[in-house]
Structure 1
């Protein structure tokens, strides 16, 4: 159920003083601060796996570390800092199945890989925090969506649930924008930097050939798929926010008709669910086709295309459920607003939805071989397990009950009043309209570096001679600041 819960990434302790040389000896303290900020991030991720912290702590630590990392990268690019040797940043992927098990750390080259993994961790933390936001502490770890099936006891309680849905959807829109930034800006810029044979700077992003296989985070297709996934989850929660005040009424009335006064239009709900189903399908197709996709990964790198099976299974199930719901509401639209003239069409659509939901119930589970692979996988509090399986079955059972109730009502109406022919299910496929989004991604902007080029207090170092005598000097204006905070010249172009 939305939102998808990412496995907790992991890394190890590193010292920037050991990775970098400070020729001017002016950044000793700031490098220690950067090391401390990264250690805080590493410890928060470790605490997540041990269930001793929540994702808000991870989000706070990654937001504290990112400005220091950008400062180090910019300083390396300006030769204010130098690399001691080729750096290696151990990380455990959250995208590819090599993340299964505790010994799957991969040593990733260049500071650019540290930035990619840090931003991916940032986006995953936003998504998982959205999941935590929906958790109701008064329901022993249950979700707001489970409680929505109970009668609403007060306006204040209803508002609290709606506010939680809105907060979670906003976090997911931010996560989508961040994944999209990695896919559309960060990775392409790095690719261009690697391919530029005239780039002779030592820099922080130079990458040799023949490196070890890189995790899926370094594929543009994968990052784009994650952006679409987060947006689909956000739109799904947005729809739940619309119908939440009416869920209890529909669940407890015997016929489900007529819809409560003020209920969103069935036609609108159908279009919203069609958009959600389309997004889930698009994300899944991107992940499935990344093996044959061209230009989707960093040039010269071997990208691991063994995608986490739980992620593919989640996309398949959520696509199926959104597709069923779109057909259910299209049927209600036909039956409610046609004076009985389209009751036969409504019955055909409901039978189609019923068949699809039954197929999802029978074949929507993760296969046994996949479950065997996933044993022992730690993905944090409130993720896959018995609770999630129970909730998923509950959603399918609730959906089936509503479809059967609508179908019973329309069948009785047709047999006693309308007497409309029931068309073949195949004939109603052409009646599916286009989707309509309810929420959009929120663009991500890199924060201002804590020090070095681009920071508010940066003053270029004065040197008697170039650090790299054979290097081509760049114009000093390359690091000029713009007036808008956090959007200085070259923002995002750290390669």
Structure 2
């Protein structure tokens, strides 16, 4: 987590071809110029190898934030609204023709990029630009969290860990604020969106997803167990050998309720994404991620309820909570540990860590995930299920051994425990998004007529890296045009 979004790309577009601004004649040209920067930045980001895309995210975010004030100015001008008490008058000459390549929509042709979405409304241009900014902010939160999961280098310190989580949380809350604004704006739309990526249900699902992941980060900030599990696999860290994690009892119960709030957000996002029909369906990978996030959040809540019970001396109940967490994750146990006492209650660790083919499969998936983290690829695409399974299995082995040798308490059935789980508790609320406005001096400068034409050639393809050089000789093999004679033949 957070979700590894793929940023969309877009075609060229000249605002002067569709809009005319009588009050600020240079506004369409300025908007086209900054949109061209956004287009080039997105294309350069897409062409980078996945391991090199994280450093370019700041450029993507900056270009979008610079472009949006001009886009909002044209949007305000169409309604003859004022900016800084200065009225803008924009006239629509013809419907715009813009293309965006969505990345969340279900692809009818596996192995190929999804088809481009053609939009003929400035409103959907605004939706694509803002949703792309929200996705880029989410990717920035992933980049900030990446060092916390590395096991091939020295572990980060406490201060660096807190800073990384705080930065990632800010990015997610900013994304949620943008999506909340889009969600309220989508309520006034009466047309069908051109792609599922910007449909009202998808926007609301993305907002719930951002809040769920931000809530889980509030828990991760003070949750030592994921770091302990990672340290056991890190040969550069030995602190776990002599320093046991400690969580106060009150905070353990609070963390459990925060995890339940995250699960509620994830469940809402999954319901919205599954029912999305306007503009097409969303990709199955994205929908599955939302369900995995719900399961992980509930399993993490079960773990914290177990920690709360263990701190109170109820080791049997604590083990039952861990079994409930494994059930939420879909991890089978052998045998079923509902009820019983001591060793006879099935106090061994879950079968997911046993031998045989199942153990080999689990070990292979863990190594594959560690390699993904090391290479910075689509790590965490399972919404943290593997990480939470590791933590629960570690605590289960420890508490089961303790219960078998010292406490010998009965392990109650997990059904009644799940039935008495409380409601979630919210910790974050997205701030109202304030659309960026042009500075008064910038707006005043655009009253002058444009100095050049607002034209960008004939590149309507949103992936012009495949464009063919028109100067190539007919029938020539690509890249060998210099070997062919052109012009008037010389027979001497």
TM-score, L = length of structure 1:
0.69
What is the DSSP-based 3-state SS (H/G/I as helix, E as strand, rest coil) of the residue aligned with 1:82? strand
Shift of 1:383: 9.2
Residue aligning to 1:170:
170
Residue aligning to 1:421:
410
Shift of 1:438: 3.1
What is the DSSP-based 3-state SS (H/G/I as helix, E as strand, rest coil) of the residue aligned with 1:55? helix
Residue aligning to 2:91:
82
Equivalent residues of 1:221, 1:286 under 8 A apart:
yes
User: What is the distance in 1 between the residues matched to 2:75 and 2:404?
Assistant: 72
415-424 or 394-403, larger mean C-alpha shift:
394-403
Residue aligning to 2:136:
125
Q: Flag structure 2 segments of 5+ consecutive residues without an equivalent.
A: 81-87, 233-238, 334-350, 353-370, 448-492
43-52 or 164-173, larger mean C-alpha shift:
43-52
Residue aligning to 1:466:
none
Residue 276 (structure 1) aligned with residue 262 (structure 2): yes
Residue aligning to 2:73:
71
Give RMSD over aligned pairs.
Answer: 3.8
Residue aligning to 1:410:
399
Residue aligning to 1:10:
9
Shift of 1:351: 1.9
Shift of 1:145: 2.8
Equivalent residues of 1:90, 1:105 under 8 A apart:
yes
* Alignment deviations for residues 61-115 of structure 1 (CA, whole Å, 9 cap, x no partner): 1111111112222223338332222222211223322498446222112211111
Residue aligning to 1:145:
149
What is the DSSP-based 3-state SS (H/G/I as helix, E as strand, rest coil) of the residue aligned with 1:437? coil
Equivalent residues of 2:4, 2:378 under 8 A apart:
no
What is the DSSP-based 3-state SS (H/G/I as helix, E as strand, rest coil) of the residue aligned with 1:307? coil
Would the alpha carbon gap of residues 128 and 408 (structure 1) be closer, same or farther in structure 2, given more than 3 Å must change?
closer
Would the alpha carbon gap of residues 335 and 31 (structure 1) be closer, same or farther in structure 2, given more than 3 Å must change?
same
Would the alpha carbon gap of residues 330 and 127 (structure 1) be closer, same or farther in structure 2, given more than 3 Å must change?
same
User: What is the distance in 2 between the residues matched to 1:350 and 1:77?
Assistant: 57
Residue aligning to 1:197:
none
User: What is the distance in 1 between the residues matched to 2:395 and 2:293?
Assistant: 22
User: What is the distance in 1 between the residues matched to 2:202 and 2:332?
Assistant: 25
User: What is the distance in 2 between the residues matched to 1:241 and 1:178?
Assistant: 24
What is the DSSP-based 3-state SS (H/G/I as helix, E as strand, rest coil) of the residue aligned with 1:282? helix
| Structure whose alpha-carbon radius of gyration is higher | 2
Decide which of 26, 37, 42 is 2:39's aligned counterpart.
42
Shift of 1:335: 1.8
Shift of 1:250: 9.3
Would the alpha carbon gap of residues 173 and 426 (structure 1) be closer, same or farther in structure 2, given more than 3 Å must change?
same
Shift of 1:151: 7.2
User: What is the distance in 2 between the residues matched to 1:384 and 1:254?
Assistant: 21
Would the alpha carbon gap of residues 115 and 348 (structure 1) be closer, same or farther in structure 2, given more than 3 Å must change?
same
Shift of 1:393: 7.9
Shift of 1:236: 1.7
Q: Flag structure 1 segments of 5+ consecutive residues without an equivalent.
A: 136-142, 192-206, 292-302, 364-381, 460-495
Would the alpha carbon gap of residues 76 and 383 (structure 1) be closer, same or farther in structure 2, given more than 3 Å must change?
farther
Would the alpha carbon gap of residues 451 and 93 (structure 1) be closer, same or farther in structure 2, given more than 3 Å must change?
farther
Shift of 1:445: 0.8
Shift of 1:165: 1.2
Would the alpha carbon gap of residues 397 and 233 (structure 1) be closer, same or farther in structure 2, given more than 3 Å must change?
closer
User: What is the distance in 2 between the residues matched to 1:424 and 1:16?
Assistant: 65
Shift of 1:245: 9.3
Equivalent residues of 1:246, 1:263 under 8 A apart:
no
The 5 Å alignment of 1:34-433 reads: 34-51=31-48, 54-78=56-80, 80-98=89-107, 101-102=112-113, 104-135=115-146, 143-147=147-151, 157-184=157-184, 186-191=185-190, 214-244=194-224, 247-248=227-228, 252=232, 259-260=245-246, 265-291=251-277, 303-337=278-312, 340=313, 342-359=314-331, 396=385, 398-433=387-422
Equivalent residues of 1:255, 1:406 under 8 A apart:
no
Shift of 1:267: 1.6
User: What is the distance in 1 between the residues matched to 2:382 and 2:189?
Assistant: 44
Shift of 1:390: 6.4
Shift of 1:257: 10
TM-score, L = length of structure 2:
0.69
Shift of 1:223: 0.7
Would the alpha carbon gap of residues 124 and 265 (structure 1) be closer, same or farther in structure 2, given more than 3 Å must change?
same
User: What is the distance in 2 between the residues matched to 1:360 and 1:11?
Assistant: 45
Would the alpha carbon gap of residues 409 and 215 (structure 1) be closer, same or farther in structure 2, given more than 3 Å must change?
same
Shift of 1:385: 12
Would the alpha carbon gap of residues 99 and 262 (structure 1) be closer, same or farther in structure 2, given more than 3 Å must change?
farther
Shift of 1:418: 3.8
Shift of 1:173: 0.4
Equivalent residues of 1:181, 1:443 under 8 A apart:
yes
User: What is the distance in 1 between the residues matched to 2:435 and 2:105?
Assistant: 26
* Alignment deviations for residues 263-316 of structure 1 (CA, whole Å, 9 cap, x no partner): 98322222222122221111101111234xxxxxxxxxxx22311222112112
* Alignment deviations for residues 308-340 of structure 1 (CA, whole Å, 9 cap, x no partner): 222112112222222211111211211211xx3
